[in-house]
Amino acid sequence: MNDRLKRAVVLGAQAAFALGALAYVLAQIDLERAGRQLLTVDPLVVAAVLAVTTLEFVTRFSMWHALLYGLDRVAFRTSATVDLVIKFVNHVLPSKASGHSVAPLVVRHYTGVDWTDAVTVAGLNTGLYAALYGVVSLAGLVLFATALPGGIAVVVALSTAAYLAAGVLVLLAGRRLEAAGRLFGTLEGLFSRVPRIGDRLAGLVGKLPTFTAESAATFRDLSSRPAVVLPYALGWVGTLALAPGIRVWLLLDALGGGFSPALLLPVALVTAYSVTILPVTPGGVGVAEASATLVLTALGVAPEVAGVVVLLDRAFGVYLPALFGWVPFASLDLPALLSRESEG
């Protein structure tokens, strides 16, 4: 089987899996009843959901801005464009790790920084994002593991381990090159032994950023500055935990559902959505919705309400930014950018 045919088969399988997962979520929903319920939602709730989503865009953009401003005083608007384009790319490549591997091209194109700095800041974004996600997802796994179905608990545990490994690897690679190289090799070997998806998990390690001595020095400088790391972490919490948690809580309350204790809802969502790191479907489409529906149902939310709320949350928090990212991405010639960098 040649490479092109193999890619087509894999893409077809991923699309089928995504559609099957979405079909599962839709099967939990009485669409007619859900439509009637949504039409009766209080306008104040709708306004609150839109306000939370708007603030979520601000916190989302602030993550990249913290890094890029710390590197080269890049404007907030430019940081926003970088974020949106990478968000779109994450939905046309097999996994988030693949999308993050394209980030240096996007950063260099929009900011004009040299290639070493682009790799550095993209790598720091990957490391911080993965480490934060892994820690919060692990907390959720500890809190909710006994309530989750066995299969979901295993998948979430794999996803959490992948996030933690990616975070540790990248942060270590940026600060201690020799130790990171040994750890890369060890983890590739361990991941390759996982049944069914081992080869693809091991492949994720190869897509993680690598550093030269020069870029590692810049990485150490940026990652040791509280003025860079703290705003990034706050933006991460706002984007990945607080905004989705508040939005889902508002929608659950409006549709007659509920989650208790409400303060743990953001952690539950981070844990449920952690499956997006696995190279199953582009951007985790379908699998994230199915995972979150199953997790919320296991934690006491009615399946028909959980499915509707998860679909709306993903639409506002994931697919809307990706759609906005298509606009600047459409003017990019990514193959030409890649060719130019490889020649340079």
Q: Residues 94-150: pLDDT tens digits?
A: 555 555 567 888 998 899 898 888 888 988 999 999 999 999 999 999 999 899 988
Confidence category of residue 281, pLDDT binned at 50, 70, 90: confident
Residue 25 inside a domain? The answer is no
pLDDT in tens, 33-67: 989 999 999 999 999 999 999 999 999 999 999 99
Residue predicted with more confidence, 130 or 218: 130
Backbone angles phi, psi at 277, to 5 degrees: -75, -25
Peptide linkage before 261 cis (omega within 30 of 0): yes
Residue 59 inside a domain? The answer is yes
Residue 179 belongs to domain spanning:
36-330
Residue 343 inside a domain? The answer is no
pTM of the model: 0.86
pLDDT at 307 over 80: yes
pLDDT at 199 over 90: no
Residue 295 inside a domain? The answer is yes
Note the pLDDT of residue 196.
52
Residue 29 inside a domain? The answer is no
Residue predicted with more confidence, 211 or 48: 48
Determine how many CB atoms are found less than 10 A away from the CB of residue 177.
Answer: 15
Tokens matching residue 139: 């907390």
- Between vectors from CA 154 to CA 151 and to CA 157, what angle results, nearest 5°? 150
Q: Lowest-pLDDT range, 17-21, 155-159, 249-253, 331-335?
A: 331-335
Residue 9 inside a domain? The answer is no
Residue 8 inside a domain? The answer is no
Residues 240-278 as b/e (b if ≥16 CB within 10 A, e otherwise) read bbbbbbbbbbbbbebbebebeeeebbbbbbbbbbbbbbb
Residue predicted with more confidence, 78 or 191: 78
Confidence category of residue 224, pLDDT binned at 50, 70, 90: very high
Note the pLDDT of residue 172.
82
Note the pLDDT of residue 178.
47
- As a dihedral over the C-alpha atoms of residue 278, residue 152, residue 187, residue 99, rounded to 10 degrees, the angle is 20
- The sign one gets for the Cα dihedral 14, 17, 23, 25 is negative
Helix (H, G, I), strand (E, B) or coil at 176: coil
Tally of domains in the chain:
1
Identify which of 151, 158, 316, 323 has the alpha carbon closest to the alpha carbon of residue 244.
316
- Between vectors from CA 336 to CA 332 and to CA 338, what angle results, nearest 5°? 100
CA distance 204 to 278: 9
CA distance 316 to 247: 9
pLDDT in tens, 312-334: 999 999 999 999 999 998 887 76
Residue 337 inside a domain? The answer is no
Determine how many CB atoms are found less than 10 A away from the CB of residue 161.
Answer: 21
Confidence category of residue 93, pLDDT binned at 50, 70, 90: low
Average pLDDT over residues 215-234: 91
Where does the chain have alpha helices with state H? 3-27, 31-39, 43-72, 76-89, 96-111, 115-144, 150-175, 177-192, 198-207, 213-223, 226-236, 243-254, 265-273, 287-298, 303-314, 320-329, 334-343
CA distance 313 to 45: 14
